């Protein structure tokens, strides 16, 4: 059966930066953004528009509606008299906004962007945070439309100090990496297969990444039998993709992503309702790939290796069965209780391979692993499991600094009883009680002693049915921002 030809990924915001020109504001057609604060003098651009509109901005800023806005919220004046603009967006922002307010302002701007040209009259001192948030919010996945339209018109940013424009480069590069992650998660499984995903990863060598793709024969030779067992019922070949950014010396940080391109549940098949969303079961791999692009684009002074296990979990005459026993690369014998508990089997082998080959200073894995984490935390926070308090706390701090929700969950030896196997060494499922914890406890078996490790269960945050903190409904790209912030704070030289 033929597959649709993949379309280009969604293009993120790429603003043009120009010197501040107060006289150009009146003639701009489309969307104009200015900033103001109640009980404060209007900044220069807002003051100019206020004069042209005969006090409309002053009246809006003095209104109860404006006073009710949080910092970063906005009011819109439609078709204002005295301007060519279709609308003026007045963003509430004080003279010394914090990062959260700047992000909220950017989200307000990004959500309001349309196909008309936009002019942002920048007065904020920390423009990168605001533009990054605007870029993150201005996202629409159209790759599978028969006639995709431009997401939004050109965006121009007026700067008082044009020399500050380069300061935004890293922030916008990170937004592009999040867009890549979203595009990957949103892509249907007949377009983004194990083979086409591996080919896209290979193309990232142009960024300076070292890329290896290990095929099934090599995986057999290395002993990644748990991972291979998951994919043995699919016509799509299983692959292990390795992306290495060596911007520093010393042992690397290893990022491991679950890449189940589509998850039917295998022989333990899922209910039909909602199964179409299982195209997102490669969300951990997508975040890993997006992060590696971000590190390469900003030339991070860090040594990071990303590993993604790419498989498809299908029911077939060759598929693994409940009751099978599989030897992992580590050597542990895994009793397969539920073939829908497949992600942890992929991660078990890739985690062991990452440690065996690269001897990393720390390991972080990401996976859309359990529905149980959604029951526990909903769609606002990812579950954080760790054997190392310092690394866990550093990640939680990084996630909070970027506005990405995360919450520490427990681990403990008592949970091992739920996954003890009568005929093997461990079961791949302990059933419904403490489901996300027993999954993490299973993974911990494949982390070597004294290796700092964090497991991120992103099942609730990778794809949402409503708008999330940085994105419209759909793929969120959660994790790229937090992991990049963690690497900047804890794993970069200099």
Report CA-CA distances (Å) from 93 to 124, 135, 155, 398: 8, 18, 20, 24
The alpha carbon dihedral of 118, 124, 125, 128 has a sign of negative
Rounded CA-CA distance 36/50 in Å is: 11
Report CA-CA distances (Å) from 309 to 95, 283, 284: 47, 11, 10
Residues 6+ apart with CB under 8 A from 307: 240, 241, 242, 243, 254, 255, 256, 257, 288, 350, 353, 354
Closest alpha carbon to 455 in 472, 466, 442: 442
Q: What is the pLDDT of residues 51-107, one digit of tens each?
A: 999 999 999 999 999 999 999 999 999 999 999 999 999 999 988 899 999 999 999
Pair 419, 442: CB distance under 8 Å? yes
How many CB atoms are closer than 10 A to CB 16?
9
Rounded CA-CA distance 395/214 in Å is: 30
Residues 6+ apart with CB under 8 A from 136: 106, 107, 110, 175, 178, 470, 471, 477
How many CB atoms are closer than 10 A to CB 24?
14
In the residue annotation, 448 being an active-site residue is answered as no
- Which strand (E) or helix (H) includes residue 395? helix 389-401
The alpha carbon dihedral of 189, 8, 115, 24 has a sign of positive
Rounded CA-CA distance 415/426 in Å is: 12
Q: Which pLDDT value is given to residue 14? A: 86
Q: Which pLDDT value is given to residue 9? A: 40
Q: Which pLDDT value is given to residue 3? A: 43
Rounded CA-CA distance 142/273 in Å is: 24
Rounded CA-CA distance 170/168 in Å is: 6
Average pLDDT over the chain reads: 94
Pair 310, 241: CB distance under 8 Å? yes
Query: How does DSSP assign 71-94, residue by residue?
Result: TT-EEEEES-TT-S-SEEEEEE--
- The two structure tokens encoding residue 72: 């970063």
How many CB atoms are closer than 10 A to CB 473?
11
Q: Which residues of the chain are modeled with pLDDT < 50?
A: 1-10
Closest alpha carbon to 139 in 475, 391, 396: 475
Query: How does DSSP assign 198-264, residue by residue?
Result: HHHHHGGGGGT-EEEEE-HHHHHHHT-HHHHHHHTTSSSPPEEEEEEEESSSSSPEEEEEEEEEEE-
48, 344, 427, 445: which is the annotated catalytic residue?
Answer: 344
Pair 256, 364: CB distance under 8 Å? yes
In the residue annotation, 270 being an active-site residue is answered as yes
Residues 6+ apart with CB under 8 A from 273: none
Pair 396, 383: CB distance under 8 Å? no
State the pairing for strand pair 16-19/31-36.
Answer: unpaired
Place of tokens 């900033």: 35
Closest alpha carbon to 177 in 195, 204, 198: 204
Structural domains of the chain, ranges and CATH numbers in brackets: 16-168 (3.40.220.10), 192-490 (3.40.630.10)
- Which strand (E) or helix (H) includes residue 156? strand 155-159
Pair 188, 145: CB distance under 8 Å? no
44, 225, 270, 361: which is the annotated catalytic residue?
Answer: 270
């Amino acid at each position: 059966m033929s597959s649709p030809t993949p379309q280009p990924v969604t293009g993120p915001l790429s603003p043009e930066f120009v010197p501040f020109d107060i006289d150009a504001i009146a003639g701009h057609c489309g969307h104009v953004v200015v900033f103001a604060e109640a009980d404060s003098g209007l900044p220069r651009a807002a003051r100019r528009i206020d004069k042209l509109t005969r006090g409309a901005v002053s009246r809006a800023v003095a209104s109860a509606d404006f006073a009710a806005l949080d910092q970063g919220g906005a009011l819109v004046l439609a078709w204002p008299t005295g301007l060519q603009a279709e609308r003026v967006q007045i963003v509430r922002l004080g003279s010394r906004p914090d990062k959260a307010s700047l992000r909220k302002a950017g989200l307000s701007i990004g959500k309001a962007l349309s196909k008309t040209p936009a002019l942002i009259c920048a007065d904020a001192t920390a423009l990168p945070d605001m533009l990054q948030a605007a870029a993150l919010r201005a996202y629409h996945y159209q790759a599978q439309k028969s006639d995709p339209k431009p997401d939004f018109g050109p965006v121009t940013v007026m700067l008082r100090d044009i020399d500050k424009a380069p300061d935004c480069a890293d922030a916008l590069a990170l937004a592009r990496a999040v867009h890549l992650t979203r595009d990957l998660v949103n892509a249907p499984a007949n377009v983004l297969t194990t083979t086409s995903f591996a080919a896209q990863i290979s193309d990232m060598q142009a960024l300076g990444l070292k890329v290896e793709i290990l095929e099934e024969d090599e995986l057999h030779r290395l002993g990644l039998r748990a991972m291979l067992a998951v994919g043995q019922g699919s016509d799509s070949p299983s692959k292990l993709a390795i992306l290495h950014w060596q911007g520093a010396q010393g042992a690397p940080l290893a990022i491991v992503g679950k890449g189940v391109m589509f998850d039917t549940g295998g022989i333990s098949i899922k209910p039909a309702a909602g199964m179409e969303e299982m195209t997102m079961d490669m969300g951990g791999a997508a975040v890993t790939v997006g992060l590696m692009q971000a590190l390469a684009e900003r030339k991070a002074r860090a040594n990071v290796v990303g590993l993604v296990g790419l498989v498809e979990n299908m029911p077939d005459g060759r598929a693994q069965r409940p009751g099978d026993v599989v030897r992992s690369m580590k050597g542990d014998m895994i009793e397969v209780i539920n073939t829908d508990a497949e992600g942890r089997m992929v991660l078990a082998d890739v985690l062991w391979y990452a440690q065996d080959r690269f001897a990393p200073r720390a390991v972080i894995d990401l996976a859309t692993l359990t529905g149980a984490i959604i029951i526990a935390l909903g769609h606002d926070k990812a579950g954080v499991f760790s054997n190392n308090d310092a690394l866990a706390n550093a990640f939680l701090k990084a996630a909070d600094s970027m506005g990405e929700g995360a919450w520490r969950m427990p681990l403990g030896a008592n949970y091992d009883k739920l996954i003890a196997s009568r005929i093997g060494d461990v079961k791949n499922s302990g059933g419904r009680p403490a489901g996300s914890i027993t999954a993490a406890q299973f993974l911990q078996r494949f982390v070597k002693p004294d290796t700092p490790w964090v497991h991120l269960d992103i099942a609730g945050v990778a794809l949402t049915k409503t708008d999330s903190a940085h994105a419209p409904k759909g793929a969120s790209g959660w994790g790229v921002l937090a992991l990049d912030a963690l690497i900047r704070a804890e794993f970069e030289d200099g």
